[in-house]
Structures are given as C-alpha cells and as structure tokens.
Amino acid sequence: MSIYDLKVKDTKGNEVSMANYKGKVLLIVNTATACGFTPQYKELQELYDKYKNQGFEILDFPCNQFGNQAQGSNEELVAFCEMKYKTTFQTFAKIEVKGENADPLFKYLKENTKGFLGSAIKWNFTKFLVDKEGIVVDRYAPITTPLKIEKDIEKLL
C-alpha cells in the first residue's frame, strides 16, 4: 500500500485521489482555526507561494478533535483562512486524525512515522512531509513552525 492508493474528501464531499499528487513534495497538516498555532497559516502560505511552482503542495485537513478548535462548516473554515491568512493551498473536508474513526490518510501517516511519545497525534498543526515518491520523510510537532521546515522541503524539491 502506498499513500497514492488513498482517497480523501474535498470541502464539497467529493473524493480526491492522493495519486493526483504523484511527483510532488507534500506537506500534510491537521489544522484548526481557533488554536494558538493558527497563525502558522501565514508561514504555510509563505512556503506555498515560494515553492508551489517547483512541485510543492500543502494539504490542509481541518480537525475539531483537539479542544473543539475547528468549529464550523468546511466552507466557513476555508473562508476564514482565505480572508484572514490569504491561503490559496488546498483545504480538504474536516476529518478525524485520531481514534477509531481516524481518516485512512492519517492512519497511514502515523504508521509510517513516529512522533514524540509514539504515533498518536497530540494536537493541531502536526505536519507530515512526503517526498515525490510518496514516502513519508518526516513528522513535525505543532510547535515546529513551517519556516523551520523550509530546508527539508528544499532538499526534496
């Protein structure tokens, strides 16, 4: 099984194949709009603007499992990010990243990396870096700001 065998849902509920991202470097993030880490959207957008033409994509997955910090509909979450942080990278439907209902993508990401204290995702803005071949290269804690990942992204591009 590869990351490219998985499907996720866009904000309208349509299935999107991860195979659409073959050959791209991916930064996959579980996010929330009312979290202390929410200002990281600014740096995520900076990275996206800088590297999107070199085969870099950010995949944003809102999650309301940590302190109910991603309340609202998919459309409301996208509108907030676009208005407040001018985001242009892909936001997907709200998902679960932990527990028995965790989305298969995040199960896959967790199985292929280990974070501090094991594989569980502890909070919003956990980040996973995936190379052009679909291999999960690294995982970053919520406190790791996006710009601190820039050198790792550059190496993969």
Domain boundaries, the chain: 3-156
pLDDT bracket for residue 137 (50, 70, 90): very high
Asked whether the predicted pLDDT for residue 86 surpasses 60, the reply is yes
Give CATH for domain 3-156: 3.40.30.10
Q: State the pLDDT at residue 90.
A: 93
Kindly name the residue from 25, 27, 35, 59 that is annotated as catalytic.
Answer: 35
Q: State the pLDDT at residue 114.
A: 62
Q: Is 35 a catalytic residue?
A: yes
Angle at the Cα of 110 (from 61 to 54), degrees rounded to 5? 55
Q: What is the pLDDT of residues 96-123, one digit of tens each?
A: 998 889 999 999 998 888 655 557 788 8
Nearest alpha-carbon partner for 131 in 113, 108, 107, 153: 153
Q: Which of 33-42, 55-64, 120-129 has the lowest mean pLDDT?
A: 33-42
Rounded distance between C-alpha atoms, residue 141 and residue 123, angstroms: 8
